[in-house]
Amino acid sequence: MKHPNFCVHTAALGAAVAAICAAAPAWTAVPGIVGANGPQTAAFLLDAAEGYSSQPDGASVYSWGYGCASAPTGYAPAAMTAISCGTMQIPGPTLIVNENDVVTVTLINNLPVAAGPTSILFPGFDVSTTVAGTQTGTAGVLTREAPSSSCDPTTHVGCNTVTYTFTAKGPGTYAYYSGTQGDLQVEMGLYGAVIVLPNATDASISSCKRGPFSLAAAAYKHPQSCYDREYLFELAEMQSSIHDEALAQKQACEGAIAANPTATCPLISAKTEPYHPNYFLVNGRSMPDDMDASFAPMYPQQPYNGNPHMHPNELVLIREIGQGRIQHPLHIHGNHARVLARDGNLLLAANDKLSPLAGGVPRLAGPLIFTFPSVSGQAVDAIFTWTGKGLNWDVYGHTAAANIPCVPDANGYYTSMAGAPNYGEYCADHNKTIPITPPDPQIVANGLWYGGTPYLGLSESAALGFPSTPLPPGTAKQNQSAGYAYMWHSHDEREITTNDVFPGGMMMMLVIDPPSAPIDEAK
């Protein structure tokens, strides 16, 4: 168990981080689009288009991104509301399909003429670009491409396209990104994620229980891949000077064509080396924007956020993809995570010498990690949990006088009554008092998530055994939803800045909510 960096410990980072800890919670999940077009098929109509991404320093950076060329067949997870898919977003729409689906993605080139052709690579899949015996698009270096064209950005009349078809053979998390002039087009924002869900009827995961905001009950066809909630983190970076140069060349092209409709333009050729990115992104946003709600109207081209929440003892599936040109060491606090798979390849023990799982299923062999290496183009799936074990005090604030039970299971946790307010408690710490003096609740930097108490949640009745520090003047009651907040961030110090200003960049907060506090991912 790593050091408990709840919000009171972030005060040293300055008022900006303290304000984040005091902000109203905004949940996240893995929202995306589905392409059900019949049994075992999924069809998507995407376009590549231009737009602007918003940054916390006030910059509006010219960018390119994939989007929905028309309304998708549907959205997932079903419990989420107010999901949308615009014609351009960063990252591109998360494509959610089922195992063995025949997936068809038609890409419309809606980029400026000066951008030239564009395409999509789907690493990990055997892709065909043939439709009815005819090759679509035009030949490119890595794949077939949709050529450049002057077309109507709304009706897509006159736009060039290319179609990709593949079978989603195995469950897991996968990247997709441009296969054309990658040093420019991926930098500009042309990347996204594919999530393949396992067959729900597979016997090995039949006992897994699906949460209301989970895409599936398990990440893979393996009993140790069950999970309660999930989050997708696409890590990338931007060098704004490249974007500025692309914008200038695009505007020069449009000016030349306006003066002479028969004029031709050279392809955009921005200087991409040496590479010195100045924005570092989680799901297209920098901190603190990444902790605002998904689909917040302030970020029309950046719909996905990064703000994980969980209850103690829940299994959280982390889906992480390195989408940039450089490595981003995503460091998680609160506990290690057990790696399940890389690029959809489940890591299993070749010779499991321990007692086998039910049905002789081999055990997971992935390592325990507290930093995701985030290799460019690589996807990693891992399971994270938090129990409070190792803190050596009762995180629920019980006292012996309250007579609240904690009956340990074989692993020492209270799991005999799922509805109990201290479900998942580590019983060895039951009734133990905190070994330090709690901080002064009048210090604003402690934040509303901390609530002036080192415990999960707070009962207004001292008789129930939830003691607290004195209330600040004018405060009617303590925060019933007080929890622990752990910073999840890049371990490369420059990457927790926004255009060289700290704090910012690739940083977010994991919030451990008390079991009694509902986590509504739809908000």
> Could you tell me the residue ranges of all domains in the chain?
1-238+276-393+434-523
Average pLDDT score over the chain: 86
Residue 173 has pLDDT above 80, yes or no: yes
Expressed in percent and rounded to 5, the helix, strand and coil fractions of the chain are 15, 25, 60
| Beta pairing partners, 408 | 414
Determine if the peptide bond prior to 274 is cis (ω within 30°): yes
Q: Which two tokens stand for residue 351?
A: 């010779």
pLDDT for the residue numbered 402: 74
Largest CA distance in the chain: 86
pLDDT for the residue numbered 434: 76
Average pLDDT over residues 358-367: 83
Tell me the pLDDT band of 219, cut-offs 50, 70 and 90.
Answer: very high
pLDDT in tens, 450-471: 455 677 775 544 444 444 545 5
Residue 18 has pLDDT above 80, yes or no: no
pLDDT for the residue numbered 460: 46
Average pLDDT over residues 59-71: 96
CATH superfamily placement of domain 1-238+276-393+434-523: Cupredoxins -  blue copper proteins (2.60.40.420)
pTM of the model as a whole:
0.90
Residue 295 has pLDDT above 60, yes or no: yes
Average pLDDT over residues 207-233: 92
Residues 6+ apart with CB under 8 A from 207: 223, 226
Residue 281, H or E segment: strand 279-282
Cβ–Cβ under 8 Å, residues 504 and 497: yes
Average pLDDT over residues 19-37: 67
pLDDT in tens, 140-171: 999 999 999 877 777 778 889 999 999 999 99
pLDDT for the residue numbered 439: 58
Average pLDDT over residues 432-447: 63
Tell me the pLDDT band of 397, cut-offs 50, 70 and 90.
Answer: confident
Distances (CA, A) of 79 to 86, 173, 196, 264, 504: 20, 21, 19, 49, 31
Tell me the pLDDT band of 352, cut-offs 50, 70 and 90.
Answer: low
Cβ–Cβ under 8 Å, residues 120 and 136: no
Average pLDDT over residues 168-194: 97
Which of 37-41, 409-413, 421-425, 516-520 is predicted most confidently?
409-413
Residue 317 has pLDDT above 90, yes or no: yes
Closest to 481 in 3D by CA, of 438, 508, 461, 511? 511
Higher pLDDT, 29 or 56: 56
Task: Compute φ and ψ for 379, nearest 5 degrees.
Answer: -110, 140
